[in-house]
């Protein structure tokens, strides 16, 4: 674990106790069973916002606390443990980063305070096909009209504002588009992990220079890296919890007159998972720290974190089911939630293959 400042420790402890009290996995189950339209519990999100978590990376002059990405990662890790569903990654991390890094003063004034206090939800509308290929953009702006189709937009149903990638004069740009603008339509996706997502269509939506962020493709890359690192922190929390629940089961489930954790076949696999989790934590913390320091090797560290964390969560989520035996296959057990969340998180913002390829490219091979 990274050495934390006092503020960071307090933030993490607050998140830990809130999650335990207010948002255990049973809360996620309830949300799923209720078929919540937005894919999260609005009341819980409001509480999170009240505690300031939507504004952790937002500068103080726009209503945030400016604690940085490692700090936000601590919160996300705690939320990830119990699979707490919320627009924090889409809004308080992804879209907020886009505004902080590429927004004009007016744009920041208009949106950051609302994002920071949770009164507005913003979402990244980037992907257009079944895979994360942010450089492939067919959406375009011509004659002041934005048209295109975006898929798998996380929190797309809840969003008041979209940060949309589109080509203008052949170059990728990011635009701010209000969800209630004429020409915007969205349809809810019902996903295996029960989180909120939508396909969003933009048809001749009026945009002007005032809606454009500054920075183009390089800005998009930076924004995505922040979302990837934050998501990796959430995945770390989820994988840790999945591991700990499994470890508990190894210590309690008895077969053949002994706890199953006494079988070396399982012990060594538990040790392997623990090893992978330790390696993953290092990668995730390094990526978040690099972002806070605006380090030149941020991109490769983020790809390392997302790929490593993806592999680890993949492993642990599979083992959680396998080591629980039949009970892990039942919907009444939580193992399935972690398994489903793992694959959705792996795919979001680039899967392991994507980030291995990106890492190799950055390294020049």
Partner 1 sequence: MADFGGTDLEAFRAEVRSWVEANFPASLKGKPNPMAREERGSEPTPDQEAWRKAVGAKGWGTPTWPAEYGGGGLSGAQARIVQGEFARAGAYNPIGGMGVMMFGPTLLEYGTEAQKQEHIPPICRGEIAWCQGFSEPGAGSDLASLQTKAEDKGDHFVINGQKIWTSGAQWADWCFCLVRTDTSKKHEGISFVLFTMHQPGVEVRPIPLIAGSSPFCETFFTDARAEKKDLVGPLNGGWTIAKRLLQHERSGLTGAGGGLGSGGKPIEVLAKEYVGLDDQGRLADHDLRTRLVTNAMNMRAFQQTAVRAMVEAKGNASPSSATSIMKNAGTQLIQERHEMALEIMGHQGLGWEGDAFKADELAAVRGWLFGKAFTIFGGSQEVQSNIVSKRILGLPDLTQAK
Residues in contact with partner 1 by CB under 8 A are 127, 129-132, 151-152, 187-194, 199, 254-258, 262-263, 265-266, 318, 321-322, 325-332, 335-336, 339-340, 343-344, 347, 351-353, 356-357
Q: Select the binding partner of residue 169 from partner 1, ligand FAD, none (C-beta < 5 to 8 A, by kind).
A: none
Q: By the 8 A CB rule, do 330 and 257 touch?
A: no
The stretch near ligand FAD (CB under 6 A) out of 37-45, 178-186, 256-264, 294-302 is 256-264
Task: Kindly state whether residue 199 participates in binding ligand FAD, applying the rule CB under 6 A.
Answer: no
Q: Nearest distance from residue 261's CB to partner 1, in Å? A: 12
Q: Please identify, using beta-carbon distances, which residue of 285 and 300 lies nearer to partner 1.
A: 300
Task: Kindly state whether residue 266 participates in binding ligand FAD, applying the rule CB under 6 A.
Answer: yes
Q: Nearest distance from residue 241's CB to ligand FAD, in Å? A: 19
Q: What angle is formed at CA 342 by the lines to CA 355 and CA 356, rounded to 5 degrees? A: 10
Q: What's the distance, CA 26 to chain centroid?
A: 21
Element (H, E) at 85: none
Rounded Cα distance between 196 and 214, Å, is 28
Name every residue whose Cβ is closer than 8 Å to that of residue 153 and which is 6 or more positions away in sequence. 123, 124, 125, 126, 127, 159, 162, 186, 197, 198, 199, 200
Q: Nearest distance from residue 144's CB to partner 1, in Å? A: 30
Q: What angle is formed at CA 31 by the lines to CA 48 and CA 18, rounded to 5 degrees? A: 30
Q: By the 8 A CB rule, do 173 and 212 touch?
A: yes
Q: What angle is formed at CA 276 by the lines to CA 275 and CA 280, rounded to 5 degrees? A: 120
Among 203, 325, 357, 361, binds ligand FAD (CB under 6 A): 325
Report residue 131: phi and psi, to 5°: -120, 155
Q: Nearest distance from residue 279's CB to ligand FAD, in Å? A: 24
Q: Please identify, using beta-carbon distances, which residue of 271 and 353 lies nearer to ligand FAD.
A: 271
Strands 140-142 and 184-188: unpaired
Task: Kindly state whether residue 256 participates in binding ligand FAD, applying the rule CB under 6 A.
Answer: yes
Q: Please identify, using beta-carbon distances, which residue of 263 and 274 lies nearer to ligand FAD.
A: 263
Q: Nearest distance from residue 273's CB to ligand FAD, in Å? A: 13
Task: Kindly state whether residue 267 participates in binding ligand FAD, applying the rule CB under 6 A.
Answer: no
Q: Nearest distance from residue 318's CB to ligand FAD, in Å? A: 11
Report residue 132: phi and psi, to 5°: -75, 105
In the complex, which residues of this chain contact ligand FAD (CB under 6 A)? 253, 255-256, 260, 263, 265-266, 322-323, 325-327, 329
């Amino acid at each position: 674990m990274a050495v934390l400042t006092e503020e960071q420790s307090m933030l993490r402890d607050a998140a830990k106790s809130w999650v335990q009290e207010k948002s255990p996995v049973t809360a996620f189950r309830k949300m799923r069973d209720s078929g919540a339209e937005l894919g999260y519990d609005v009341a819980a999100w409001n509480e999170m916002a009240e505690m300031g978590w939507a504004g952790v990376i937002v500068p103080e002059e726009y209503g945030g606390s400016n604690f940085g990405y490692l700090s936000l990662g601590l919160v996300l890790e705690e939320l990830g443990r119990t699979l707490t569903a919320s627009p924090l990654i889409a809004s308080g991390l992804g879209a907020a980063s886009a505004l902080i890094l590429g927004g004009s003063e007016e744009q920041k004034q208009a949106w950051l305070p609302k994002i920071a206090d949770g009164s507005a939800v913003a979402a990244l509308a980037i992907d257009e096909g079944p895979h994360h290929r942010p450089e492939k953009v067919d959406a375009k702006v011509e004659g002041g009209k934005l048209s295109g189709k975006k898929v798998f937009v996380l929190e797309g149903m809840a969003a008041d504002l979209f940060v949309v990638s589109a080509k203008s004069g052949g170059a990728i740009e990011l635009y701010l588009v209000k969800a209630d603008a004429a020409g915007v339509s969205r349809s809810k996706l019902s996903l295996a992990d029960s989180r909120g997502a939508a396909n969003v269509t933009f048809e001749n939506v009026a945009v002007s220079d005032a809606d454009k962020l500054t920075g183009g493709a390089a800005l998009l890359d930076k924004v995505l890296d922040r979302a990837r690192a934050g998501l990796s922190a959430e995945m770390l929390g989820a994988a840790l919890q999945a591991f700990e629940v499994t470890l508990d089961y190894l210590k309690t489930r008895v077969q053949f007159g002994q706890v199953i954790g006494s079988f070396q076949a399982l012990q060594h696999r538990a040790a392997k998972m623990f090893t992978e989790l330790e390696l993953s934590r290092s990668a995730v913390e390094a990526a978040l720290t690099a972002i806070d320091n605006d380090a030149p090797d941020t991109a490769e560290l983020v790809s390392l974190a997302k790929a490593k964390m993806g592999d680890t969560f993949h492993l642990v989520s599979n083992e959680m089911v396998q080591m629980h035996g039949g009970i892990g296959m039942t919907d009444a057990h939580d193992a399935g939630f972690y398994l489903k969340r793992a694959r959705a998180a792996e795919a979001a913002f680039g899967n392991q293959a994507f980030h291995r390829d990106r890492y190799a490219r950055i390294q020049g091979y």
